Each structure stands twice: as C-alpha cells, then as structure tokens.
C-alpha cells in the first residue's frame, strides 16, 4: 500500500471503494461539501498528502549516465587505439587518447544534463491548471495544489487532475485511452456501482490523466499524486523524451557509417604503408592510430545536442513551447500555415458596434470592455430605454451569457468568452446591471455553446413563474430556426429571412462578427431545455455586430510568411464576409475565392484537393473540416502547420505536420495533441517559430559543415604523408589535440549564430532532403583539401628552411588551427558571402571561443610541460606571419568557392542561400 493510500485510510478511516459510495457519502467521508474546502484545510491537506504530482521515475544514476557516454562506436575505436598504443609502450599517446575520451565523456555528460534540464523547464511551463471550488468560490489553481476533498469542475478538453468521484454531471464523456487503452470515449454518471466493478466500468469515477471529450461535471477528489490509478501503474505523464530529432538520428547513423569507412581506409593505409612502402609494423600502427583518431568527429554529438537544446530554449522565450522536438526541424519545411482567426490573427478584444432589429440599425460607440458609450440611431444619440426592441435583445444577450466583467484600477477585463464579455459591456452601456438581471431571472437549464452547432441557449424564469428560452448564435443557424421576428411596437410578424441575410452580409463586410439573438415563451412548467426546443416557435430579436480588430503584428507576420514561401490560410467559424474583410486587412486570400464549411461538406476528396489550393479563406467551418483540410493539403505534398484550441481540434492538430495549440484559450486536449504550444496565442509567434526553426536547422548544418573538414583535413594530411612517403606532419597526440580541443571549442560558438539575414526570404526546405546537400559534401571535401594543403606546404617549407621536425609539426598544427578560425568566419553564412563587415558582428561567443582557443594554443605551443607531452617547439614571428597569411588565403579561397556555388544556384534557379 503506498504512502497516500494509507494516509487516506488513516485519516478518513473507510475501506469501501469510493465508487461504491453515494456522492454524498464520499463527500462526508472526505469531510467536504459542495462549497469545497476552506483555505486552512487545503493547506493542511497539501502538507499531509503532498503535492499532486507523480514521483519521477527513478533517474539513471550519475555513474550509469557517465558510463553511457562511452557507448559509441567512435569512442570504441579510440579506446582500442589507446589500449594498443599502451601495449606498444607509447604511454604518452595512450594518456592523451584516454584524456580525450574522458574530456569527451565529461562534455557529453554535462551537455546532456543541461539539455534535459532545459527541456524539463520548458515542460513545466505547460503544467496543468485545475478549476476548483474552495470556500464556495470557483478558482483556478495549479494542478499540483489539488488535494483530496477538493471539489473540481471540468469542461470539454480538460485533463482530469486527480482521481475524482463525480457528484454532478451534464452529458460527460471521457477519453480513458491513456489508462485503459479503450479508444472510444466513455459516458459517465453519478450513481453507485458495486465494489467489485473493474476500473473500466466505474462510471461514476474519472481518473487522473484522462481527457474530457464532452459535457461538464463536478466531482470530489479522492486520490492525488502517486495514490491515483495512474500513479499505481507507474506510468509517467509528460516524461522528458530523448534529446533528438530525425536529423540528429540521421547524423548518428552517418557517424556509424563514417566509422566503418574510417576503419576501412585505415586498414588500407596500413597495408599500403607496410607492404608497399616498407614501413615497420609498429611505426605504421602508430600512424594508423593517428589516422583513425584524426578522422573521427568526436565533438559532433555534443555540438548537435546543444544546438538543439539552445534553440528550443530560445523558442520558449519567444512564446513557442516545443512539446515534440522533431517539430523544430519540420518548421523549416512548412509550406502552408492554417490559422484560426479569432484571437490568433485578431486581438480577441471584442466590442459591439452594431445592433440590428427588424426595423432599425443602432450604432454603439466605445472600444474595449469599459461600459461607457452612446447609442446612435441615424446619427442621433438615443436612450436605449426609449427603444423597447433594443432593450429586449440586449437583455436576452446578457441572460444567455456565462461571462463575468471585472474592473480593476479602471481596467475592465472579461472572465470567460470575450464574445460574451462584449455583450455584457453592451448591457452595461444600456444601463442594465448584469448581476441584478441574472439574479432576478434565474437560469434553469443551459445548452452550452459549441463550435459544431454554433449557438447557446438558456431557459430562464422571469421571477413570476413564466419561463423563457433565450438563444444566441451564428445568424444562419438561428434565423433558420425562427418563424417570426420582433417588431418595433413589441409585436411580431413572419420572419423575412432574405432581408436579414442581406443586412447581416452588410455588417459582416465591415469585418464585424455577427450574432443573432432569439427568444421563445416556454410552458410555465418547463424546467429543462434541449435541442428539441430550438426547432420551432423562436422569435428573432435581432443581430449584433462585434468588431475584433486584427493584431497590429499579424499583417507583418503574414507578409513575412509570404516572403518565406509559406501560404497562410485562415480557418474560422465566423461569417464568410467577416472572414473576407479581416483577410483583406491581413493580406490573406485577396482576389481568391472564400469557401464555407457547408460547401466543403459537399465536396468529394478530389474537388477538395483542388479547392484547397485555390482558396485561402475557409469560413463557418467546424473542427472536423480542419482534419479534412489538413489531409487534402498533405495529399498534395504540402507540409502543413495547423492551429487549434478546442477538444475537437485535437485530431487535426495530431494529423498536421506541425500542430500548434493555443496556450491561453486552448484546452488540455489540444495542447496534448499539438507539437508546439503558443504561449500567447499569437499568429506572429508562429512566424517567429518558423524563423527560429530555420535558424536551428541552419546551425546544425553549420556545425557539420565546420567540424567535418577538420577531420577530413587531418586525415588527408596523414594519408598523403603515408602515400607519398614523407615524415608524418602531425603525430596522433597532436591530431587529437586539434580535433578535440580546438575544433569543438570553435564549433560550439556556431551554436549561438543568429538567423541569417535571408532566412525568411528562402523557400521552405524540401522535407526529407538529406542533411548533407551535394554542395555541402563538396564543401567538406574542398575545405579538407585546403586545410591539408596549407598544413603540408608550411610543414615542408619549415623543413626546407632549417626547421627541425618538431618545429615543422608545431607549425603544421598551428596552420590548421588558424585555418579553422578563418573557416569559422566562412561558416557563419552557409552560402552568403562572408566578405562583409557583418561577419565580425552579431555573435560575441565567436570571440570568446577564439580567445580561449588562442590561450590554449599558446599553452600547447610554448609551455615547457606541454612541449614535453605534445612534442612541440617554439615558432618565431616569421612562422606566425606565414601561418596567418595562409589562414587569410584559405578564407579567401573558400569564399571564392561559395561565390561559385551562388552563381551556379542562380543559373539553375535553385534557392540562393
């Protein structure tokens, strides 16, 4: 029995399972009631039962994590080399190789820890919130503060924060796949079930970690943290995955093949050296060890991991929280972004501007939620109380409404749906007091708003025993269900649907979101309402037009996406004319057809594929349409990013190549299905994330492009020396020094590179394109040759001009190190010219790395103890001048190569970057 369960039994002293008790019994057993716990009691319980979190799976011990750093084919080769040099009695070489392996393991260990911590911190930003009732007040608290006895409320899309016995329920269905594997949502009720009922059939319980798909409910928490069913089966939610992406996995496979290739070349060189050139076996062996260690890019995995972790951290700072790492790479290939309108492209700050009744059109002034404004009719200011039909529609809109307005320091904010908040403000502008109105006409029943059917209805009394049904929703839906319309004198006449539709189009064309309001007198004995009541006898009261201005930054972000070869499509539940008007202000879908959800439904898959290419605006859509749209786009080879917030958006978010969930208004279900969560719900964050994704991919490529030529250059030096039969220009120790110390130090600086100037001017990267393009392979080979030539030239020059072998080798090593520094500047821009002053700015870590490297290289070259270990000698000023000249020359030659590639790209019409 675990700690929490025993605590429960100790404290509440009952062994009957919660599901076998009535809801009241469960509450009294937990010493709580519908008003919830008091503040003091929750604190006590939090202390007693601990936070509502699952204990982390036992982490691997530090020693095991450290040892695992050696589990790499590249490292095996180095370890074997160390053993063999030891057997041959070359202890210094053995020591240096062992040292390099150790340093590599330490760097890997630290980086891995840092990367994992960074991701853990990011995951924490997504921690769960729960709505609880405490002291009779509804409040939102962090999921980990939930305690046994808390009363929790939940709605569609919520993740259940603990194990809960239901006490009240309204059409609740829960997806329990995470716990039971059952993929169909399970309906719940509040009755009791026998004590031996298996978990999957306990219909009055909901369990931690499962998701609400439908309905609302209230329940009492019976177990938290490890005492929950989820905790018992030892599963972990949101566990930090491996720090990897498809590119990194491909690089790891590439690393393994590279090792095989290196071993083959090494054996070949050994055979040529011993059989053809006649070197002694021991000498030749040492050379081959040098060759093997020179070719292995030991630093590559560490550089790749840190680039990714830093990038993901930066994206979190830009409000894009990455849940699934591969999305970082996919972002760079995105060709279409399908975005919601309300709150993503627009501000979600709603203000009513127009109220249309059967005979008249009223204008309302003011912005935001502050309830100060005037009503105008034909440009004349009027008193709303003088127009009964205006008052009636406003009253209905306030009653059929769940939002609350709050004023703090003169600032008015909405708790709840902003559309409903705007209606409350309208009510207050008309002189109504929403609380008094709601108290006087209490609500008996509700059909909550859902994007699928686009209306909300409430059944209210009028305080004198009469019952009224109020409906508000998308005009098309409401008008269809109305038989009559309210006239100015309080009477009614048959509805003129054509006239209403014309007037709605007029308001919508102005970019206003439209909402129709209707009512119906119900029998006095009615206590419940359902969909059946909405079908007949409704009286149309009028239409309300609400403005929701586009965010200032949206237009810029949309234009950036267009430049980057990404098509932006708007998918909205609003009227097609509203969508078109907003689209026009945001440069979306101008001059193109706009399609409605109803039209989409009639299309077969082939027509849809064609339409989805032509149209950028999809209006009056529901969440299922999103899934069809993603599928149609993907069938055409588009890499699609899709935004979503509701529980029904989850399938489309999962299906999209990059699913983007809203962090503020999104449900847990949407967040869980998405690969990225937008902490600020803002479209411009998507454009920022694409930019960052492209930067990360660039930096990964830059890392490879920088590191591999170092290995290539060094191994070529050894191979050429063996084949042409002259003294080895670098010993294995010296090669290891360059390879590990200098190359990795410099390369880490590249991980901080900012996005290149043209990063958002290029078309999206072709998905599944090999990480090494043909040009990159060429560049690696070409640069390897340049580094090799530079080292050999100065080595030879030094020998011919009176230097000894020690000095010549020191000069050769320095040439390669300086060559690398020069090459670092070449690599700052993948293809763009580095012959610009920008090459010296924008990344201070480059200078830190060069500074550290210069100090290390001077120590290596001049400090006697190091001279002893590494067999180095002290070069003079003349040598250094030659080395520097060689560095500058190699920089210029590589720039020439880049210019050639740019020219070729332009000629062949390939993207120029």
Q: Which residues contribute to the site for ligand ATP (CB under 6 A)? A: 340-342, 417, 419-420, 449, 451, 454-456, 472-474, 513-515, 572-574
Choose among 31, 282, 266, 12: nearest CA to 150. 31
Three-state secondary structure readout of 113-130: HHHHHHHHHHHHCCCCEE
Q: Are 220 and 164 spatial neighbours (Cβ–Cβ below 8 Å)?
A: yes
Q: Are 300 and 704 spatial neighbours (Cβ–Cβ below 8 Å)?
A: yes
* Nearer to ligand ATP (CB atom), residue 515 or residue 719: 515
State the chain's maximal CA–CA distance in angstroms: 114
Residue that is written with structure tokens 């019409």 in the block: 909
Q: Are 554 and 683 spatial neighbours (Cβ–Cβ below 8 Å)?
A: yes
Distance of closest approach, residue 677 Cβ to ligand ATP, in angstroms: 16
For residue 335, how many other CB atoms are within 10 A of its CB? 21
Kindly state the helix (H) or strand (E) to which residue 178 belongs, with its residue range. helix 177-180
Distance of closest approach, residue 667 Cβ to ligand ATP, in angstroms: 13
Which ranges of 724-804 does DSSP label H, i.e. alpha helix?
A: 732-736, 743-750, 774-800
* Nearer to ligand ATP (CB atom), residue 513 or residue 691: 513
Distance of closest approach, residue 546 Cβ to ligand ATP, in angstroms: 8
**DSSP classification of residue 737:** I
Distance of closest approach, residue 325 Cβ to ligand ATP, in angstroms: 28
* Nearer to ligand ATP (CB atom), residue 472 or residue 765: 472
What is the distance between the alpha carbons of residues 658 and 655, in angstroms, rounded to a whole number? 8
Number of residues written out for the chain: 913
Query: Which residues have a Cβ under 8 Å from the Cβ of 468 and sit 6 or more positions away?
Result: 441, 459, 460, 461, 462, 519, 520, 521, 522
* Nearer to ligand ATP (CB atom), residue 144 or residue 450: 450
* Nearer to ligand ATP (CB atom), residue 419 or residue 461: 419
Distance of closest approach, residue 785 Cβ to ligand ATP, in angstroms: 56
Q: Which residue is nearest to ligand ATP (CB)?
A: 573
Supply the angle between the helices 805-827 and 743-750 in degrees, to the nearest 10. Answer: 10
Distance of closest approach, residue 668 Cβ to ligand ATP, in angstroms: 18
Cα torsion angle, 534, 535, 536, 542, sign: positive
* Nearer to ligand ATP (CB atom), residue 478 or residue 821: 478
What is the distance between the alpha carbons of residues 179 and 161, in angstroms, rounded to a whole number? 13
* Nearer to ligand ATP (CB atom), residue 473 or residue 803: 473
* Nearer to ligand ATP (CB atom), residue 340 or residue 756: 340
**DSSP classification of residue 741:** I
Distance of closest approach, residue 342 Cβ to ligand ATP, in angstroms: 3
Distance of closest approach, residue 350 Cβ to ligand ATP, in angstroms: 9
Distance of closest approach, residue 441 Cβ to ligand ATP, in angstroms: 18
What is the distance between the alpha carbons of residues 517 and 515, in angstroms, rounded to a whole number? 7
Q: Which residues of 191-216 are buried (b: 16+ CB within 10 A; e: fewer)?
A: ebbeeebeeeebbbbbbbbbbbbbbb
Distance of closest approach, residue 130 Cβ to ligand ATP, in angstroms: 23
Q: What is the DSSP string of 340-355?
A: ESTTTTB----EEEEE
3-state class of 356 per DSSP?
A: strand
Q: Are 456 and 512 spatial neighbours (Cβ–Cβ below 8 Å)?
A: no
Tokens of 11: 């404290």
What is the distance between the alpha carbons of residues 14 and 734, in angstroms, rounded to a whole number? 73
What is the distance between the alpha carbons of residues 562 and 581, in angstroms, rounded to a whole number? 19
Measure CA of the first residue to CA of the last residue in the chain; give whole Å.
Answer: 62
* Nearer to ligand ATP (CB atom), residue 78 or residue 660: 660
Tokens of 277: 């050139």
Q: Are 883 and 818 spatial neighbours (Cβ–Cβ below 8 Å)?
A: yes
* Nearer to ligand ATP (CB atom), residue 309 or residue 617: 617
Residue 486's region, left for phi above 0, alpha for psi from -120 to 50, else beta, is beta
* Nearer to ligand ATP (CB atom), residue 145 or residue 553: 553
> Rounded to 5 degrees, what are φ and ψ at 555?
-60, -45
Residue from 158, 175, 340, 645 carrying the catalytic annotation:
340
340 is catalytic: yes
Distance of closest approach, residue 515 Cβ to ligand ATP, in angstroms: 5
Q: What is the DSSP string of 624-672?
A: HHHHHHHHHHHHTT--EEEEE-SGGGHHHHHHSSEEEEESSS--HHHHH
Query: Which residues have a Cβ under 8 Å from the Cβ of 258 and sit 6 or more positions away?
Result: 295, 296, 297
Q: Are 112 and 72 spatial neighbours (Cβ–Cβ below 8 Å)?
A: no
Distance of closest approach, residue 424 Cβ to ligand ATP, in angstroms: 11
* Nearer to ligand ATP (CB atom), residue 513 or residue 809: 513
What is the distance between the alpha carbons of residues 95 and 85, in angstroms, rounded to a whole number? 9
For the annotated catalytic residues, the residue numbers are 340
């Amino acid at each position: 029995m675990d700690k929490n369960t025993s605590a429960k039994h100790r404290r509440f002293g009952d062994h009957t399972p919660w599901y076998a008790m009535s809801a009241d019994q469960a509450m009294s057993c937990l010493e709580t009631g519908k008003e919830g716990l008091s503040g003091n009691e929750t604190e006590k319980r939090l202390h007693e039962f601990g936070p509502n979190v699952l204990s982390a799976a036992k982490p691997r011990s530090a020693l095991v994590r450290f040892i695992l750093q050696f589990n790499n084919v590249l490292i095996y080769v180095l370890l074997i080399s160390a053993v063999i040099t030891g057997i041959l009695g070359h202890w210094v070489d053995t020591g240096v190789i062992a040292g390099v392996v150790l340093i590599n393991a330490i760097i890997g260990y630290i980086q891995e820890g840092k990367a994992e911590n960074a991701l853990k911190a990011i995951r924490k930003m997504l921690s769960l919130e729960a709505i609880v009732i405490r002291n009779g007040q509804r409040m939102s608290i962090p999921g980990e503060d939930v305690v046994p006895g808390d009363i929790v409320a939940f709605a569609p899309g919520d993740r259940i924060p603990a194990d809960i016995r239901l006490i009240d329920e309204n059409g609740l269905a829960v997806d329990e796949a995470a716990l039971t594997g059952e993929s169909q949502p399970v309906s719940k009720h509040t009755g009791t079930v026998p004590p031996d009922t298996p978990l999957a059939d306990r219909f009055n319980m909901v369990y931690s970690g499962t998701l609400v798909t439908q309905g609302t409910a209230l329940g009492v928490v019976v177990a938290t943290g490890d005492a929950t069913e989820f905790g018992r089966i030892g599963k972990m939610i949101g566990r930090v995955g491996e720090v990897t992406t498809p590119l990194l996995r491909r690089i790891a496979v590439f690393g393994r093949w590279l090792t095989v290739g290196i071993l083959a070349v090494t054996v070949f060189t050994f055979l040529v050296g011993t059989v053809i050139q006649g070197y002694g076996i021991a000498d030749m062996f040492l050379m081959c060890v040098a060759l093997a260690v020179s070719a292995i890019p030991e630093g590559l995995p560490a550089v790749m991991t840190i680039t990714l972790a830093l990038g993901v951290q930066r994206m979190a700072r830009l409000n894009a929280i990455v849940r699934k790492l591969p999305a970082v790479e996919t972002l760079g290939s995105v060709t279409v972004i399908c975005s919601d309108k309300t709150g993503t492209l627009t501000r979600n700050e709603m203000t009513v501007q127009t109220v249309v009744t059967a005979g008249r059109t009223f204008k309302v002034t003011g912005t935001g939620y502050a309830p100060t404004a005037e009503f105008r009719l034909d440009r004349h200011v009027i008193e709303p109380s003088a127009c009964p039909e205006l008052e009636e529609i406003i009253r209905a809109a306030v009653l059929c409404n769940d939002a609350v307005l709050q004023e703090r320091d003169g600032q008015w904010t909405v708790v709840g749906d902003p559309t409903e908040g705007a209606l409350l403000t309208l009510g207050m502008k008309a002189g109504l007091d929403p609380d008094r109105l709601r108290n006087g006409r209490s609500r008996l029943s509700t059909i909550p708003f859902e994007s699928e059917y686009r209306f909300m209805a409430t059944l209210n009394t009028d305080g004198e025993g009469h019952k009224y049904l109020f409906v508000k929703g998308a005009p098309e839906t409401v008008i269809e269900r109305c038989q009559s319309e309210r006239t100015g004198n309080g009477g009614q006449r048959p509805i003129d649907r054509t006239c209403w539709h014309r007037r709605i189009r007029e308001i919508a064309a102005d970019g206003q979101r439209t909402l129709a309001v209707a009512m119906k007198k119900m029998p006095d004995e009615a206590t419940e309402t359902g969909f059946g009541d909405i079908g007949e006898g409704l009286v149309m009261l009028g239409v309300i037009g609400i403005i929701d201005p586009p965010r200032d930054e949206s237009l810029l972000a949309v234009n950036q996406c267009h430049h980057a070869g990404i098509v932006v499509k708007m998918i909205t539940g609003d009227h097609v004319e509203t969508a078109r008007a907003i689209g026009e202000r945001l440069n979306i879908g101008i001059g193109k057809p706009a399609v409605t959800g109803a039209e989409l439904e009639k299309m077969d898959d082939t027509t849809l594929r064609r339409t989805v290419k032509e149209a950028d605006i999809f209006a009056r859509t529901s969440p299922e349409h999103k899934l069809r749209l993603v599928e149609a786009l993907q069938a055409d080879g588009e890499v699609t990013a899709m935004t979503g917030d509701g529980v029904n958006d989850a399938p489309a978010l999962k299906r999209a190549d990059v699913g983007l969930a809203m962090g503020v208004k999104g449900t847990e279900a949407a967040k869980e299905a998405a690969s990225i969560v937008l902490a600020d719900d803002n479209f411009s964050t998507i454009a920022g994330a694409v930019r960052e994704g492209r930067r990360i991919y660039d930096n990964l490529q830059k890392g490879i492009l920088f590191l591999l030529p170092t290995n290539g250059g060094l191994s070529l030096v050894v191979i050429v020396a063996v084949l042409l039969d002259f003294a080895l220009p670098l010993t294995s120790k010296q090669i290891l020094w360059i390879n590990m110390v200098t190359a990795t130090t410099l390369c880490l600086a590249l991980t901080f590179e900012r996005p290149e100037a043209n990063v958002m001017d290029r078309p999206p990267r072709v998905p599944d394109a090999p990480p090494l393009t043909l040009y990159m392979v060429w560049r690696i080979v070409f640069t390897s040759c340049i580094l090799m030539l530079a080292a050999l030239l100065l080595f030879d020059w030094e020998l011919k001009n009176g230097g000894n072998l020690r000095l010549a080798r020191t000069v050769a090593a320095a040439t390669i190190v300086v060559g690398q520094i020069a090459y670092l500047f070449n690599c700052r821009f993948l293809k763009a010219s580095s012959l610009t002053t920008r090459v010296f700015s924008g990344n201070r870590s480059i200078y830190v790395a060069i500074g550290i490297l210069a100090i290390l290289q001077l120590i290596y070259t001049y400090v006697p103890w190091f001279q002893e270990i590494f067999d180095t000698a002290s070069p003079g000023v003349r040598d250094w001048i030659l080395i520097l000249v060689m560095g500058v020359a190699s920089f210029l030659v590589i720039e020439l190569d880049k210019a050639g590639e740019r020219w070729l790209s332009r000629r062949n019409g390939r993207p120029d970057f």
